């Protein structure tokens, strides 16, 4: 029986990959999952056999280094034990590659973004001996394990995010992954135009959107009695090392303040605010509705008419359901998540113009044509894996 190793970070990455792992397991394939950081929480709720960094790298030295590094991270989503092993082992790989002094400087400059644990991921593969490795398109451990698989002669599949701008430099490296699954012809064309062979790229869609596509097709049209706008907030990095650019950490609060001012003057409209899990909870005026991260997006988005965000994938998920989508294209992350460039969102570059665009959408109230309607992406990705295992 062929063994498939899935590898993923949390958030949207594990939501894309876990349905595939579960489907392959239902097809009597031997499946294992290397859960990275917050993906651990998802896998602990699944019946898919999973591993974490702690299963391979839990030593006193790793724990000591990791606990020191974890002290500078403002997050408590995972137990300190898991966080420490992850950080400590990645840092040791950095030291192994660059030496103590250079590793310290690199980490101080870029933090976790500098991690590329090729040596550690090679050790994982030698231990587990999979026939195929499947990951999403994150840098760090996911990127490293795909390169490690190539060096060991192990076949691999990478499931791309909506956009390929961020991983483009390694996606077009022909030694990176046997197959790349993309969600659209836009993404496929970018890769092919930049030199990736046509046969390496397959349009499969993204399994994370399967439920939304089904809901969109089943959703009955009805006239809205109110105008509900969702502000999907996110923290803005002060410095983004991947493209050496500086952001404005106050950008989300500036946008939020403008939205609150607009909706204070228009009480017949309703503003719903959903903070990112990495943001500190905030208090809002009584006329603002707050959506906690415990509320399922599948329950919230059907009640929304329009999503405003900088770069959150929540806006694209709403678009699949036929909702409006506006992006404030002032984030340091906008070039990596160019929704408006691809025609998915209405992009605006001025906070002062938000109200005009809200009024325009409200006045026109046109049905939004979804640019994504791929059904059964989970099955599509499974078929790519099965085809690869046959040869």
Helix (H), strand (E), coil (C) string for 323-368: CEEEEECCCCCHHHCCCCCCCCCEEECCHHHHHHHHHHHHHHCCCC
pLDDT higher at 363 or 320: 320
Number of domains observed in the structure of the chain: 2
What are residue 99's DSSP bridge partners? none
pLDDT band, very low/low/confident/very high, at 386 (cuts 50, 70, 90):
very high
Same domain as 302, residue 275: yes
Query: What tens digit of pLDDT does each residue of 17-72 get?
Result: 999 999 999 998 999 999 999 999 999 999 999 999 999 999 999 999 999 998 76
pLDDT band, very low/low/confident/very high, at 304 (cuts 50, 70, 90):
very high
Residue 355 lies in a domain: yes
Q: Residue 225: what pLDDT?
A: 47
Same domain as 292, residue 162: no
pLDDT band, very low/low/confident/very high, at 118 (cuts 50, 70, 90):
very high
| pTM listed for this prediction | 0.77
Mean pLDDT (whole number) for 203-230? 77
Residue 371 lies in a domain: no
Q: Residue 79: what pLDDT?
A: 80
Same domain as 232, residue 200: no
Residue 343 lies in a domain: yes
Residue 263 lies in a domain: yes
Same domain as 297, residue 199: no
Same domain as 218, residue 172: no
Same domain as 360, residue 290: yes
Question: What is the average pLDDT value for the chain, to the nearest integer?
Answer: 90
Torsion region of 177: left, alpha or beta (phi above 0 gives left; psi -120 to 50 gives alpha): left
Same domain as 277, residue 152: no
Q: Residue 369: what pLDDT?
A: 58
Lowest-confidence region among 63-72, 273-282, 283-292, 332-341: 273-282
Residue 226 lies in a domain: yes
pLDDT band, very low/low/confident/very high, at 223 (cuts 50, 70, 90):
very low
Angle between helix axes 141-152 and 118-128 (nearest 10 degrees) is 60
Same domain as 383, residue 341: no
Q: Compute the distance between CA of residue 389 and CA of residue 383 in angstroms, rounded to an integer.
A: 10
Q: What is the CATH number of the domain that holds 383?
A: 3.40.50.2000
pLDDT band, very low/low/confident/very high, at 360 (cuts 50, 70, 90):
confident
Same domain as 276, residue 188: no
Same domain as 345, residue 231: yes
For residue 208, the 8-state DSSP code is G
245 alpha-carbon distance from chain centroid:
20
Same domain as 333, residue 226: yes
Residue 369 lies in a domain: no
Q: Compute the distance between CA of residue 30 and CA of residue 7 in angstroms, rounded to an integer.
A: 14
Domain assignment of residue 252, given as a range: 211-364
Residue 284 lies in a domain: yes
Same domain as 276, residue 150: no
What is the SS3 assignment for 7?
strand
Which tokens go with 211? 């439920």
Q: Residue 329: what pLDDT?
A: 96
The sign of the torsion formed by the CA atoms of 11, 212, 336, 293 equals negative
Q: Residue 172: what pLDDT?
A: 94
């Amino acid at each position: 029986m062929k063994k498939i190793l899935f590898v993923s970070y949390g958030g949207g990455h594990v939501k894309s990959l876990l349905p595939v792992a579960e489907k392959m397991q239902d097809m009597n394939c031997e499946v294992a999952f290397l859960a990275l950081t917050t993906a651990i929480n998802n896998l602990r709720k699944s019946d898919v056999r999973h591993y974490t960094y702690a299963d391979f790298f839990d030593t006193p030295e790793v724990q000591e280094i990791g606990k020191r590094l974890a002290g500078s991270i403002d997050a408590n989503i995972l137990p300190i034990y898991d966080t420490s092993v992850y950080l400590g082992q990645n840092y040791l790989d950095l030291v192994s590659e660059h030496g103590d002094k250079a590793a310290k400087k690199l980490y101080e400059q870029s933090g976790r973004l500098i991690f590329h644990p090729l040596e550690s991921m090679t050790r994982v593969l030698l231990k587990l001996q999979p026939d195929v490795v499947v990951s999403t398109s994150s840098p760090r451990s996911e990127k490293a394990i795909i390169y490690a698989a190539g060096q060991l002669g192990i076949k691999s599949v990478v499931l791309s995010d909506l956009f390929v701008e961020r991983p483009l430099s390694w996606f077009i490296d022909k030694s990176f992954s046997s197959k790349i699954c993309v969600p659209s012809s836009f993404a496929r064309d970018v890769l092919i135009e930049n030199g990736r062979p046509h046969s390496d790229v397959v349009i499969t869609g993204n399994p994370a959107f399967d439920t939304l596509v089904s809901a969109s097709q089943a959703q009955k049209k009805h006239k809205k009695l109110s105008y509900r706008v969702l502000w999907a907030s996110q923290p803005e990095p002060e410095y983004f090392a991947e493209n050496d650019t500086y952001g404005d950490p106050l950008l989300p609060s500036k946008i939020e303040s403008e939205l609150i001012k607009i909706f204070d003057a228009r009480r017949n409209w309703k503003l719903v605010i959903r903070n990112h899990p990495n943001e500190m909870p905030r208090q809002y005026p009584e006329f603002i509705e707050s959506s906690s991260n415990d509320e399922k997006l599948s329950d919230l988005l059907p009640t929304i008419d329009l999503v405003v965000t900088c770069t959150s994938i929540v806006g694209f998920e709403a678009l699949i359901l036929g909702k409006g989508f506006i992006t404030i294209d002032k984030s340091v992350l906008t070039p990596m998540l160019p929704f408006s460039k691809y025609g998915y969102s209405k992009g605006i570059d001025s906070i002062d113009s938000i109200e005009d665009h809200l009024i325009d959408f409200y006045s026109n109230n046109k049905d939004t044509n979804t640019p994504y309607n791929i059904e059964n992406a989970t099955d599509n990705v499974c078929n790519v894996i099965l085809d690869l295992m046959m040869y």
